[in-house]
Amino acid sequence: MTKTRLTLASLLLPALLFAQTPAENYPVDPASAEHAGVPKGEIIKATFQDSKIFPGTWREYSIYVPAQYDPAKPACVWVNQDGIQFKAPTVFDNLINSKEMPVTIGVFVTPGQVRAADEKTALNRYNRSFECDGLGDAYARFILEEILPDVEKHKTKDGRVIHLSANANDRGIGGSSSGAIAAFNAAWEHPEAFSRVFSSIGTYTGLRGADRIPTLIRKYEAKPIRVFLQDGSNDLNIYAGDWFKANEMMERSLKFAGYEVQAIYGEGGHNGNMATAYFPQAMRYLWKDHPKPVATSASKNEMLNLITIPGETWTSSANDTKVRSDLNTVKAKSGFTYSAKANQLIIKDAKGSNKTINAGFTAGGLCLTPDQTQLYVTDVASHWVWAFQIKPDGPLAYQQRYGWLYVPDDADNAGATAVKCDTAGRVYVATKMGVQVLDQPGRVNVILPLPAGHAIDLYFAGDNLDLLNVTVGGKLYRRKLKTKGVNSLEAPIKPLKPRL
């Protein structure tokens, strides 16, 4: 047996390593200090316990109202998670006074708790991770539909009523750690409500799925959001991931996708020291040029640029709301017809003879590849698109889970229904997250969200089959693309070989 020799150095190693962590000394921005002659805003304390989105929760929140606020004009809004941080009221006093940020009302929200009946013998349910660390728009809706309307019920000591701007260009949101991912996710889900984000030591890691955010950013067209990121190289590196590397990934993803982003890094740990020091700089960056709208630039996503037309967006129509009847049926040039019903795939030849096979999953939509040698079938109860090879005489073979789809945070499946191909072999799938576009090897490269609801039907239309049509809740949305859809009744087309 080998014996371990304990020396003084080995016993002191943990302490020595801790001592080597650099001290966090940052310059003090003048905007973080109180100054004589600068008007001071008022802080209003409030509680909220009537949430329908997070039932049973109780929380405190604070409202900062600047001295310059005039109720005749709705004020800009800043929402911060975890209450008042970063010496924000003092910073706001100074930057509003120097006109480096607009007149802004601050709303500082603490996480909810479901209080125990007897806190002496039982533990409260602490909602912070549930509210902040996941994806989806529940927290954003909580702020927009419940907290901000409650804020407007309050008045200052001198009787000024509170009016908040509803313009996204006038609203920002920020936080630290879990509060940072909550802030970014609120703007990501509702860019029509928030356009400026401050993120300190953000938890873009695998606590509740927020590690997906840097990847998703790359697959969407840029949203009008400006972001300031802060982190330190001694941030957490634990079971859920590496916080510092995750924040670096966020910066790289945002730049890749065409966002306005500024990042500042140090050697600090999982605390608010650096964020407090640089909060005034962040506010100057986020509010620069206001009221000029936040801009975006071109994405580096190759497929996104190949299929979308700059400036083209979804348009809606109330004239064609009927879901097309060919959602579950496709006819090949060969004369064979393929259709889906529940878990059955039905093959009909040119003479009308049928053959039925059990797919083993609940089939949604189906389509042929451009060369008509493969059949894609969506699985409505999972996140898969299945692929079948079509034999020369019509039968299906080599069934495989092939296309991998993203699933919303509040769902157990992608809700995939209709599926279509373009002539390049790209695969367009109607899902709960919008239109997910896969390459031939089955990887989602692009996600085109829709203005509202779950995409149901999807098809190419127009003289050149370059108009993507999607039905959502009985309404038709159209978007012109650079590409062309496949007409299965025309001669098969062999698409280009994809990058593997």
**pLDDT reading at 17 higher than 60:** no
Percent of the chain with pLDDT over 70: 94
Angle between helices 273-286 and 88-97 (to 10 degrees): 30
Report d(CA 87, CA 343) in Å as an integer: 59
Q: What is the pLDDT of residues 378-422, one digit of tens each?
A: 999 999 999 999 998 888 999 999 999 999 999 999 999 999 999
Span 306-331, average pLDDT:
78
Span 63-84, average pLDDT:
98
- Domain 16-300 indexed as CATH 3.30.930.10: no
Q: What is the pLDDT of residues 264-283, one digit of tens each?
A: 999 999 999 999 999 999 99
Where are the domains positioned within the chain? 16-300, 303-480
Full 3-state SS string of the chain: CCCCCCCHHHHHHHHHHHHHCCCCCCCCCHHHCCCCCCCCCEEEEEEECCCCCCCCCEEEEEEEECCCCCCCCCEEEEEEECCCCCCHHHHHHHHHHCCCCCCEEEEEECCCEECCCCCCCCCCEECHHHHHCCCCCHHHHHHHHHHHHHHCCCECCCCCECCECCCHHHEEEEEECHHHHHHHHHHHHCCCCCCEEEEECCCCCCCCCHHHHHHHHHHCCCCCCEEEEEEECCCCEECCEEHHHHHHHHHHHHHHHCCEEEEEEECCCCCCHHHHHHHHHHHHHHCCCCCCCCCCCCCCCHHHHHHECCCCCCEEECCCCCCCHHHHEEECCCCCEEEEECCEEEEECCCCCEEEEECCCCEEEEEECCCCCEEEEEECCCCEEEEEEECCCCCEEEEEEEEECCCCCCCCCCCCCCEEEECCCCEEEEECCEEEEECCCCEEEEEECCCCCCEEEEEEECCCCCEEEEEECCEEEEEEECCCECCCCCCCCCCCCCCC
Nearest to 253 by CA among 286, 293, 219: 219
All residues at 6 or more sequence positions from 285 whose CB lies less than 8 Å from its CB, including other chains: 226, 228, 262
User: Which of the four pLDDT bands, split at 50, 70 and 90, describes residue 496?
Assistant: confident
- Which of 115-119, 145-149, 350-354, 459-463 is the least confident region? 350-354
User: Which of the four pLDDT bands, split at 50, 70 and 90, describes residue 326?
Assistant: low
Q: Which CATH architecture has domain 303-480?
A: 6 Propeller (2.120)
**pLDDT reading at 16 higher than 80:** no
Residue 198 tokens read as: 């401050």
Nearest to 227 by CA among 247, 254, 249, 197: 197
| pLDDT value for 437 | 98
Cβ atoms of 262 and 229 within 8 Å: the answer is yes
The edge-to-edge listing of strands for the beta sheet with 427-431 is 419-421, 427-431, 434-438, 444-448
| pLDDT value for 452 | 84
Q: What is the pLDDT of residues 429-476, one digit of tens each?
A: 999 999 999 999 999 999 999 988 899 999 999 999 999 999 998 899
| pLDDT value for 18 | 41
